[in-house]
């Protein structure tokens, strides 16, 4: 009788898997599956109160990695999401640990950085030391969820843009001014504007110098309020670590302060519509007199990870004029 009950319970668990609470961290396990690619298991969770989604790649790798990404589709060329990335990591109201700029050169971290894309912003770190790893997580999330920049406009002026007399300055402004000193940057912007006129990809998420100076501090703060909530984020964990400690840290110090019912609506992503005909675009810009021609194709949705990876590999092979792959195509008249 006991065996029958045990088998029945096991069958019910297989047919109707239950969500499993991970300790008292507030996270509910959604699914788990073997992952040969990373020699481990992929565990997906969700924090019920804040709504943040979490994916843990559990394996024996001693390089522990943490990342948090927010959906931040660009809506103009002011580079507001890029400026936010810089400003958030500048300092925190909590200030219990050394700032990000100090840790870049004074920690044993194997990776510390943040990246802005047309549709999301990602903050990532990695370390082999478990204690330092969680300290770095605390530093990042203190800055992200309790940033000084929301109350100190000088941080916005320093990292974004400011005007001294007739001269514009600022970390992001100067960075993008340097990027736009290259003709290829203008060509790249023209390509994305023509390929993706219906989506966030038509904008330069890094910011165009001529538009960055249109960004106001009020709009900067509004974009933060619209996007930087756990309900609009995904957390990635990777490598061998004390998962219970990591989840409890996330819950007790940050996520328990947020309520999903108060989260802003998740941004809506527009899909690019197919073109009826081939498009010919002429882009004018001040350059060195050289002319450029680019032929471009919309190939697949980014959501298709395998097809995207294959397409990027194909593009890389086609772009390498020294590869045998490229020469074989030429020899075969393709």
The helix/strand/coil state of 279 is coil
- Contacts for 129 with CB less than 8 Å, ≥ 6 apart: 108
Locate 181 and state its tokens: 């000193």
Question: What single-letter DSSP state applies at residue 50?
Answer: T
- Contacts for 293 with CB less than 8 Å, ≥ 6 apart: none
Helices (H) and strands (E) in the chain, counts: 12, 10
Q: Are strands 167-169 and 40-47 parallel, antiparallel or unpaired?
A: unpaired
Per-position b or e across 115-134, b if 16+ CB within 10 A of its CB: ebbbbbbbbbbbbeebebbb
- Is 210 catalytic? The answer is no
From residue 193, alpha-carbon distances to 134, 190, 199, 210, 272 in Å are 41, 5, 9, 16, 12
**Which one from 85, 153, 225, 301 is the annotated catalytic residue?**
85
- Is 301 catalytic? The answer is no
Please give the sequence-ordered ranges of beta strands (E in DSSP) within 117-256, or none if there are none: 120-127, 162-164, 167-169, 233-238
Q: Do 108 and 129 touch, CB atoms closer than 8 A? A: yes
Q: Do 47 and 252 touch, CB atoms closer than 8 A? A: no
**Which one from 58, 63, 153, 159 is the annotated catalytic residue?**
159
Which active-site residues does the annotation give? 85, 159
């Amino acid at each position: 009788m006991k065996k029958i009950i045990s088998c029945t319970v096991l069958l019910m668990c297989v047919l109707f898997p239950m969500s499993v609470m991970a300790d008292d961290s507030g996270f509910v396990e959604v699914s788990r599956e073997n992952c040969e690619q990373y020699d481990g298991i992929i565990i997906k969770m969700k924090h019920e109160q804040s709504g943040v989604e979490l994916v843990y790649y559990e394996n024996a790798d001693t390089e522990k990695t943490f990342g948090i990404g927010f959906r931040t589709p660009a809506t103009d060329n002011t580079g507001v999401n890029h400026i936010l990335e810089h400003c958030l990591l500048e300092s925190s109201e909590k200030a219990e640990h050394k700032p990000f700029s100090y840790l870049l050169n004074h920690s044993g971290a194997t990776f510390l950085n943040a990246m802005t894309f047309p549709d999301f912003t990602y903050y990532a770190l990695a370390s082999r030391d478990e204690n330092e790893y969680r300290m770095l997580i605390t530093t990042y999330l203190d800055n992200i969820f309790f940033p000084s920049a929301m109350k100190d406009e000088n941080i916005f002026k320093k990292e974004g843009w400011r005007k001294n007399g007739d001269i514009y300055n600022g970390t992001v402004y100067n960075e993008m001014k340097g990027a736009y000193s290259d003709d290829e940057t203008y060509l790249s912007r023209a390509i994305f504007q023509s390929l993706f006129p219906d989506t966030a990809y038509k904008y330069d998420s890094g910011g165009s110098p001529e538009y960055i100076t249109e960004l106001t501090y009020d709009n900067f703060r509004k974009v933060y309020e619209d996007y930087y909530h756990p309900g609009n984020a995904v957390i990635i964990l990777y490598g061998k670590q004390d998962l219970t400690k990591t989840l409890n840290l996330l819950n007790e110090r940050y996520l328990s302060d947020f309520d999903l019912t108060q989260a802003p609506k998740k941004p809506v992503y527009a899909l690019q519509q197919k073109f009826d005909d081939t498009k010919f675009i002429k882009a004018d810009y001040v350059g060195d007199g050289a002319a450029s021609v680019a032929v471009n194709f919309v190939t697949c949705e980014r959501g298709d990870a395998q097809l995207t990876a294959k397409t990027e590999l194909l593009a890389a092979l086609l772009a390498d004029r020294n590869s045998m792959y490229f020469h074989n195509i030429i020899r075969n008249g393709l």
